[in-house]
Every structure is written in C-alpha cells, then in structure tokens.
C-alpha cells in the first residue's frame, strides 16, 4: 500500500477517502487527523488533535514502538497489520504505513496512513457483487442481442463494424469474427453502399431511417432482400460515436406468409415516394374488390405492372391475366381480337377464334391504351360492360362475361371526351377507381432505389459485379428529364452494363442522349427557366380563376396530378 492513495468513489458513486491520515509529532502527539481517520476511529478531529498517540494504541506497545523507531531511526514501514483502539474502546484491525517526515536528515514527525481492513473487505465484497451484477446484466443483454430475429450490428465513425449478432451472421453468411473491424460495405455488398445509403444519412446527418428496403449479396453470392432501420449512437456526453442498424430478411417473412398474404407480388413496384406509397396502399384495397379500374400515366410508368399486381392480389389470382394492347390492331381486327369470331364470319375467318374476353374468363382482362379504341368499338365495349355478356363476331350465342376489367391509357381522357374522341359514358363505366402513376421526373427521390433494382437485375443477366454509378454519372441521371420514364431508365442502365467493364459506371458509359441533354440544358437553362416559370404560373392562375379555385378540375385540364399542382401553387406563391 502506498503512503498516500488517490481519492476514490464508493459503489454508490460518493467520493470517499479510504485512507485515514494522521501526522504524529516527535513527542508522540497527534498533529493532523483527517476525516477518514475520524470515520475509522470515531474520534472527532478537534478531540484527538493534541492528544498523545497512546489514545489510539491503549496498551499496544508494539504498535507504538513502530512509530518511535520511525522517528528515531528514519525507518519506513509499509503494509503493517496493526490494531488500534477506537473511541468506544473497540480494537480494529488496520493495514498501515509509517513514513518519517525529515529535515536535514532528522525525522521531525511521521505520516501514519491506515485503512480499516473490515471496511476494505466490505468494499471488496460490494465491488465483487456489483461486478457479478454487471456480468449478469451483460449476459442478459448478449442473450437479447443474439436471440433477436433481426440482424443487428453497430459501426464506429470510421465505418468499422463494432458488433454483430447471430441473426446478422445467419442472414449475411459472415461470422462475427469475420465481420468485426471490417468496413460495413465489405459485409453487405449492396449497390447502395457508399452511394447514398441509409447509414450515410444516419452517420453524416444524424437522421434516423426506418423501413428502408434494399437487396444485399451474402457471403455465398446470393441476393437477399432486407428491410432496415438505422439510428445514431451517442456516448454519455451526448457525442456521436457511430450508428446502429437492425435488418430483417424480408424473403423469410414473405415465404412464411405467402399462402395467406403474398405482399411480394408488388416486388417490382419500386419506390418510397409518397405518391407511390399511396398507390400501393390503394392497391391493397382495390385488389380485394371486383370494381373496374382505370390506370393513367405516361408511357413507361409501369401501368401493366400495377394491373398485374391488382390481379395477383385479388380473388381471381388463380385465373388468367389477359393483356390486350388496343392500339396494336386496326379497327376491323380489334373486335375479333376482343370478342372472337365464328368460322366464315368474314373474309379470312377460316376457323373459329376465341377472343380475349373469353380467354380471360375467371381472371382479369387488361385493356391497355384504351384511349386509342375507335368510337364504334367503344360503343360495343360499353354494351358488354353494362350487360356483362357478349357474342363472337358472326355468332349468335351469348357468352356471359366472368372477368374483371382493368383499363389503362397514357392520354388525357378529359380532353379526349371534350374533343369527342372518347365516350363519356364508357369513361364512367371503366373509371370506378382511378390510379394515376406519376412520371419518373416527378419522383426522382425514388431514383436510387430504381437504380439499385436494375443493377441487381442486370448483374444477374450479364453475370457482372457492377456495384454503383459514379457521382458524375449519377448527377447526369438526376438532370435528365426521362420522357420514356422507368422503361427508358431500365434501357439506359442496360446500355451502361454492356459498355462498363469495371465495378463503377462512369459518365462515358451513359447513352449519348443523356450526356447531350446535360450539355444542352446547361447552355440554355438560365434563359428558359424564368420564361417557362412565368408562363406556367400565368396558365395556372388563369385556369384556377376559370375553375373558381377548384384544384381538382384545374389539374385535370393541365393533365397533371392534383398533388403536383399543389406543389406548383406553393412554389409560385399563388394565393386563392
């Protein structure tokens, strides 16, 4: 034991001095007596200072001799087991050190430092007890950490993995030992890694991310869809020290519930955009009804994908899904295509033909680009939808219609009706429920997810290991206006895969028109921006005035979604 130990904290967190300290003069009188010494002996300082040392060592001549020898011979003693007498006459065992305080080689006094061995023992037992409690608590936390069905890991500010639970091992295929101190992207191998992923948002911006979905490549090279949450890690000084992520293998959940609620039928509707979320929410309800649905949106926005999702989630999912592109047939053939024909009903009808309505019995008939049907065919279609029955061309047998009708168009049906090209009564018949798909340029916040989806798709198709777009090439994708929407994006990424030999897609791998668009837009953007914005604002003001501030009617005339109109009104500061 050193002559003077530093101050310590007790188990409850209170500051204590474990060592009693006393200075004893040459004539064996007590000169200094600290608080800890008073606590151990129960003598108040003012009562014992000035008293002879015998007050502490009643009839204990051996202990007194140690102090005398230290004074007379300058001897230092350490770890001496002694007994002292407290104020109540009780003997207490102490562990002491005696050190002479010298001047010019002669001892003027001694420093007597002592600890109550019982107090030390109790403190040691308390420490052991608290240590066992901490170990038990740590074991409980470890059990919770490793029994969680969610994979869980943490990283520090350098992106190094600092913890990795057993579920994370199972999902990724990497052991805890393999994962610790590796960069997180080395374990998860997602195209979003270092490309604006959720952990970047959490670490760099301190943002909590909830419910993000992406795909990773496990140790065995298999693609695993996961849903992740992430949050910031703080120390006890509220300083950022890293991040934590929990993730779950979505494919396992989907496999377990596939026979009851197969939500993976929407797997190709990629997006976290608010409008896409609303659409998916609507699909859940629409799919459980038999009502007619009209899907509107520009070409390439995924209208058929939505129609198939409704079918696959509905009561008719076991039946056929028959798609008809209405603008792919000339007028005199579309009727035969839809309703079928009898042998000899017209020139070239050499045998009986089953039409799409009949093929769709028990399932769903998808009429794509219905806005391109002639007025004659529209009239016949309306009659079929009203009566729920039809006849083949040239036939006289009535066939009951037992198919759900889903229609789609890229045209503004309101304009088509006002111009006389589309029947208003047919519109109301097919438009029981309307689902409008926004163009890609209005949902660029979904671009990272869409890119991730197509990277994984084409890696599999071309047997490549492309992981990301460079920042420069990604910015060009953001600047492009995407007239062909998601279909054009898919084609552009496939183009990049054909040209890219490395892991990162660079600017030179992009289609020529995307690079040229960026150059042209930069050259004339500043001049066009103000004039276009001014003209657009005037048009919106004019139509709002015409429609008595009815935003729904105004958005119809503009051919845009009401939420898009609302954003433009807010951007231009338009007041009612």
Query: Which of these ranges, 6-20, 460-474, 545-559, 561-575, has the smallest mean pLDDT?
Result: 6-20
Nearest-angstrom CA–CA distance, 459 and 196: 20
Q: Are strands 77-85 and 106-116 parallel, antiparallel or unpaired?
A: unpaired
pLDDT at residue number 6: 39
Which range has the worst mean pLDDT, 9-18, 42-51, 65-74, 500-509? 9-18
Domain 440-510 in CATH 1.10.8.60: yes
Long-range contacts, stretch 212-219, CB < 8 angstroms, 24+ apart: 212/272, 213/250, 213/449, 214/190, 214/449, 214/452, 215/190, 215/191, 215/452, 215/453, 215/456, 216/172, 216/188, 216/189, 216/190, 217/188, 217/189, 217/190, 218/171, 218/172, 218/173, 219/172, 219/173, 219/174
Which pLDDT band, with edges at 50, 70 and 90, does 253 fall under? low
pTM beyond 0.75 = no
Q: What are the structural domain ranges in the chain?
A: 8-123, 148-252, 263-436, 440-510, 528-576
DSSP for 503-529, written as a single string: SEE-GGGS-HHHHHHHHHHHHHHHHHH
The structural architecture, per CATH, of the domain 148-252 is: 2-Layer Sandwich (3.30)
Out of 3.30.43.10, 3.40.50.300, 3.40.50.2000, 3.30.390.10, which CATH number does the structure's domain 263-436 have? Answer: 3.40.50.300
The CATH code of the domain at 8-123 is 3.30.450.20
pLDDT tens sequence across 302-334: 888 888 888 888 888 878 888 889 888 877 788
Q: How many CB atoms lie within 10 A of CB 381?
A: 26
How many residues does the structure list for the chain? 576
Task: Give residue 77's pLDDT.
Answer: 92
Query: What is the average per-residue pLDDT within 437-450?
Result: 87
Find how far residue 322's CA is from the centre of its chain: 37
Tokens standing for residue 561 = 């979604």
Q: Check residue 262 and give its pLDDT.
A: 42
Predicted pLDDT at 561: 78
Looking at domain 528-576, its CATH superfamily turns out to be Homeodomain-like (1.10.10.60)
DSSP assignment string, 103-117:
ETTEEEEEEEEEEEH
Whether the predicted pLDDT of 278 surpasses 60 = yes
Alpha helices in 157-301 (DSSP H): 166-172, 176-179, 184-188, 198-205, 250-257, 274-286
Which tens digits make up the pLDDT trace of 206-223?
Answer: 888 887 778 888 888 888
How large is the C-alpha radius of gyration of the chain? 41
In contact, 154 and 244? CB cutoff 8 Å: yes
Closest CA to 278 of 414, 489, 487, 438: 438
Mean pLDDT of 494-500: 94
Cβ 471 vs Cβ 477: under 8 Å? no
What percentage of residues in the chain have a pLDDT greater than 70? Answer: 89
Written as six digits, the tokens of 12 are: 């409850």
Domains 8-123 and 148-252 in one fold: yes
Band (pLDDT 50/70/90 cuts) for residue 346 is confident
Q: What is the pLDDT of residues 229-251, one digit of tens each?
A: 888 988 888 888 899 988 888 77
Helix/strand number for the chain, H first, E second? 22, 23
Residue at token pair 């608290």: 130
């Amino acid at each position: 034991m050193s002559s003077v130990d530093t101050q310590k904290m007790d188990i409850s967190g209170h500051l204590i001095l474990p060592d009693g300290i006393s200075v004893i003069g040459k004539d064996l009188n007590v000169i200094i007596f600290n608080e800890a010494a008073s606590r151990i002996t129960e003598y108040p300082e003012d009562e014992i200072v000035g008293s002879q040392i015998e007050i502490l060592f009643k009839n204990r001549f051996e202990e007194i001799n140690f102090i005398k020898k230290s004074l007379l011979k300058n001897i230092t003693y350490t770890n001496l087991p002694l007994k002292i007498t407290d104020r109540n006459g009780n003997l207490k065992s102490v562990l002491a050190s005696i050190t002479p305080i010298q001047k010019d080689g002669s001892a003027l006094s001694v420093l007597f430092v002592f600890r109550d061995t019982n107090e030390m023992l109790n403190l040691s037992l308390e420490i052991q007890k608290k240590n066992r409690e901490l170990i038990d608590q740590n074991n409980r936390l470890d059990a919770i950490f490793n029994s969680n069905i969610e994979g869980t890991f943490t990283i520090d500010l350098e992106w190094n993995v600092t913890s990795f639970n057993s579920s994370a091992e199972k999902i990724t295929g990497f052991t805890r030992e393999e994962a610790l101190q590796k960069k997180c992207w080395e374990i998860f191998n997602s195209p979003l890694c270092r490309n604006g992923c959720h952990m970047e948002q959490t670490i760099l911006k301190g943002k909590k991310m909830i419910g993000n979905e992406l795909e990773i490549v496990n140790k065995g090279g298999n693609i695993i869809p996961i849903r992740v949450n992430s949050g910031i890690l703080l120390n006890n000084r509220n300083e950022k020290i890293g991040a934590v992520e929990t993730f779950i293998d979505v494919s396992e959940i989907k496999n377990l519930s596939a026979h009851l609620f197969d939500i993976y039928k929407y797997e190709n509707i990629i997006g976290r955009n608010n409008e896409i979320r609303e659409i998916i929410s609507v699909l859940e309800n629409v799919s459980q009804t038999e009502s007619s649905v009209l899907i509107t949106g520009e070409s390439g926005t995924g209208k058929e994908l939505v129609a198939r999702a409704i079918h696959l989630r509905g009561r008719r999912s076991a039946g056929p899904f028959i798609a008809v592109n209405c603008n792919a047939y000339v007028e005199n053939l579309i009727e035969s295509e839809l309703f079928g024909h009898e042998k000899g009903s017209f020139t070239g009808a050499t045998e009986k033909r089953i039409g799409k309505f009949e093929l769709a019995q028990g399932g769903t008939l998808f009429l794509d680009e219905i806005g391109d049907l002639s007025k004659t065919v529209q009239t016949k279609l309306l009659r079929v939808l009203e009566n729920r029955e039809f006849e083949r061309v040239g036939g006289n047998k009535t066939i009951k219609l037992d198919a759900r009708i889903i229609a789609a168009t890229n045209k503004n049906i309101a304009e088509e009706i006002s111009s006389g090209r589309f029947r208003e009564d047919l519109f109301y018949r097919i438009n029981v429920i309307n689902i409008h798909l926004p163009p890609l340029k209005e949902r660029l916040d979904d671009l990272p997810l869409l890119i991730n989806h197509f990277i994984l798709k084409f890696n599999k198709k071309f047997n490549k290991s492309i992981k990301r777009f460079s920042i420069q090439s990604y910015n060009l994708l953001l600047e492009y206006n995407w007239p062909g929407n998601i279909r054009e994006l898919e084609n552009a990424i496939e183009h990049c895969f054909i040209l890219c030999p490395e892991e990162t897609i660079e600017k030179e791998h992009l289609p020529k028109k995307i690079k040229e668009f960026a150059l042209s837009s930069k050259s004339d953007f500043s001049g066009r921006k103000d004039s276009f914005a001014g003209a657009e604002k005037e048009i919106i003001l004019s139509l709002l005035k015409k429609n008595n501030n009815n935003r729904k009617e105004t958005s119809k005339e503009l051919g845009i979604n009401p939420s898009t109109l609302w954003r433009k009104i807010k951007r231009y500061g338009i007041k009612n």
